[in-house]
């Protein structure tokens, strides 16, 4: 069936391909074309170009009156006050643990409805109970796989599981944890932490990267140390679920994220000028390629528009992470469009451009037939993480921009700072409570 969607930037049509493989063209208009497998360049160029085409003005978000912001802040404060005693004395027995899980989830749903303006239908469509069951299963599997994994690494990996589950939900697939999703989600706490360690020589990182690439390509490679042994075991788990001959795109996408990760080593260069390193392109490809893998692991095969959405979503999430980390990236000399801009210019325009980029990416959900209520939830959830990051890095924005952003935030900046202070103070208790809640 012919599907068509028009936007101010793109117009495209495509037919679902009779069979894989598919080629991703240099623009969204060409998504209907077939051809070779994705090789890591077409989507990168397409979405880099899209970012530049996006409006650097603030999108037309609704202004939230101060009384409404204050009411939401009180509801969030009540939630934090209720959950604090649970964190201070987490459940001990399996029966108590189950009871606390159910009560915390019910309280979270209630607070989400009130604070984010969600309705009961949103929560029903989100299938939160299934998401909860998957995360519990993932944490327990991770503990069994490697007891030495830190809670921080496990919960970092859990974010990727949730992203994959969201793609499953949007595409009408069962929300579940298969062995390949589990393995891929754990791969990058191991490899990222190694590649991002500034104390390790670049030569060692490149040697590891070369061995990892060969293993992803299907070669038999002897691991150099325990860390690599875990990584290679996880690759074997993916192979056990998706046979290489039957699912070539799964492994092509894994090689694409590896290439993007290796390329991102160029961002660890504090002295580079804006013309030495393609900072934007590397960030977009790193995030996009990562979530493209999620799409393939969720479904096995993708039509071009699904792959484009998965890639664009990952690029948008990566830009959000880069904004969230702008202060620490400046200190550590990590190049992003935000950390490279911040010392010399306000971040107003490139933040707006990144937000508008995300809105364009989410337009791809309409021709894919994603339920309207889910698309509505994504729109409601899109803005607030950017607001939190902007408030944290407020010294890099103009006063007028901060006023405009705060007026459109669910909470005032003062309320956000109060919530962030609670999170910092309760971080240890949260980690201990989650460990017990997800124990099995």
- Tell me, what's the pLDDT at 297? 95
Which residues in 59-93 are b (16+ Cβ under 10 Å) and which e?
A: eebeebeeeebeebbeebeebeeebeebbeebbee
Evaluated on CA atoms 278, 187, 171, 130, the torsion sign reads negative
Global pTM value: 0.85
The reported pLDDT for the residue numbered 436 is 65
User: Which of 10, 72, 53, 84 lies closest to 409, judged by CA?
Assistant: 72
- How far apart CA 367 and CA 29 sit, in angstroms, is 13
What are the backbone dihedrals phi and psi of residue 244, each rounded to the nearest 5 degrees, phi first?
-55, -45
Q: Using CA atoms of 365, 368, 374, 380 in order, give the dihedral in degrees to the nearest 10.
A: 10
User: Could you tell me if 33 and 48 are in contact, meaning their C-beta atoms sit under 8 angstroms apart?
Assistant: no
Strand partners, 11: 6
Closest to 426 in 3D by CA, of 53, 90, 179, 9: 90
The mean pLDDT values, 10 residues at a time, for the chain of 440 residues are 32 30 42 40 86 94 92 89 78 76 77 72 70 87 89 87 91 92 91 76 86 94 89 96 94 92 86 88 94 95 90 95 95 94 96 94 86 77 85 96 94 91 80 65
Q: How many domains does the chain fold into?
A: 1
Q: Where are the alpha helices (DSSP H) in 63-127?
A: 66-88, 94-115, 120-126
Question: Which are the contacts of 38, defined by CB distance < 8 A and separation ≥ 6?
Answer: 22, 23, 24, 249, 252, 253, 256, 292, 307
CA angle (89, 93, 98) in 5-degree steps: 90
The Cα 397–Cα 399 span in angstroms is 6
The two three-digit tokens of residue 171, written as one number: 């595409």
| pLDDT given for residue 36 in this prediction | 37
Helix 279-299 / helix 42-53 crossing angle, nearest 10 deg? 120
Query: Looking at residue 331, what is its pLDDT?
Result: 93
Contact 184, 297 (CB under 8 A): yes
State the Cα torsion 179-182-183-187 to the nearest 10°: 170
Q: Are 270 and 151 in contact (CB under 8 A)?
A: no
Instruction: Give the Cα separation of 128 and 111 in Å (integer).
Output: 14
- Residue 13 per-residue DSSP state: E
Note down the domain range covering 84: 3-437
pLDDT at 41: 64
Is residue 272 within 8 Å of residue 336, measured between CB atoms? no
Cα 325-326-332 angle, rounded to 5 deg: 85
The answer to whether the beta carbons of residues 386 and 323 sit under 8 Å apart is yes
């Amino acid at each position: 069936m012919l599907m068509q969607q028009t936007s101010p930037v793109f117009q495209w049509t495509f037919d679902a391909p009779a069979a894989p493989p598919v080629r991703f063209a240099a623009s969204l208009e060409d998504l209907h074309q077939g051809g070779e497998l994705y090789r890591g360049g077409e989507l990168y160029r397409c979405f880099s170009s899209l970012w530049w085409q996006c409006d650097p003005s603030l999108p037309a978000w609704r202004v939230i009156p101060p009384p409404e912001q204050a009411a939401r802040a009180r509801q969030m404060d009540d939630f934090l006050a209720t959950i604090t005693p649970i964190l201070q004395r987490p459940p001990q027995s399996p029966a108590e643990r189950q009871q606390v899980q159910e009560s915390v989830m019910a309280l979270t749903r209630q607070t989400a409805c009130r604070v984010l303006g969600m309705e009961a239908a949103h929560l029903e469509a989100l299938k939160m109970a299934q998401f909860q069951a998957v995360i519990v299963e993932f944490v327990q599997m991770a503990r069994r796989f490697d007891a030495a994994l830190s809670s921080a690494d496990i919960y970092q990996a859990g974010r990727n599981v949730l992203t994959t589950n969201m793609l499953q939900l949007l595409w009408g697939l069962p929300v579940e944890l298969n062995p390949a999703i589990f393995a891929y989600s754990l791969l990058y706490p191991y490899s990222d932490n190694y590649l991002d360690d500034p104390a390790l020589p670049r030569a060692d990182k490149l040697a590891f990267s070369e061995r990892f690439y060969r293993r992803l390509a299907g070669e038999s490679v002897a691991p150099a140390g325990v860390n690599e042994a875990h990584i290679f075991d996880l690759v074997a788990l993916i192979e056990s679920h998706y046979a290489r001959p039957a699912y070539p795109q799964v492994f092509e996408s894994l090689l694409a994220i590896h290439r993007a990760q290796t390329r991102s080593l160029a961002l660890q260069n504090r002295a580079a000028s804006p013309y030495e390193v393609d900072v934007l392109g590397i960030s977009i490809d790193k995030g996009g390629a990562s979530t493209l893998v999620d799409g393939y692991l969720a479904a096995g095969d993708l039509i071009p528009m699904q792959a484009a959405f998965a890639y664009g979503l990952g690029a948008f999430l990566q830009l959000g992470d880069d904004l969230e980390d702008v202060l620490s990236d400046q200190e550590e000399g990590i190049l992003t469009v935000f950390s490279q801009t911040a010392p010399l210019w306000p971040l107003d325009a490139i933040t707006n451009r990144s937000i508008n980029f995300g809105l364009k990416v989410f337009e791809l959900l309409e021709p894919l037939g994603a339920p309207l209520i889910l698309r509505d939830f994504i729109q409601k959830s899109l803005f607030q993480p950017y607001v939190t990051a902007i408030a944290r890095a407020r010294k890099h924005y103009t006063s007028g921009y901060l006023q405009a952003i705060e007026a459109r935030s669910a909470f005032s900046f003062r309320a956000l700072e109060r919530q962030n202070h609670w999170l910092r103070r309760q971080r240890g208790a949260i980690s201990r409570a989650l460990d017990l809640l997800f124990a099995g």
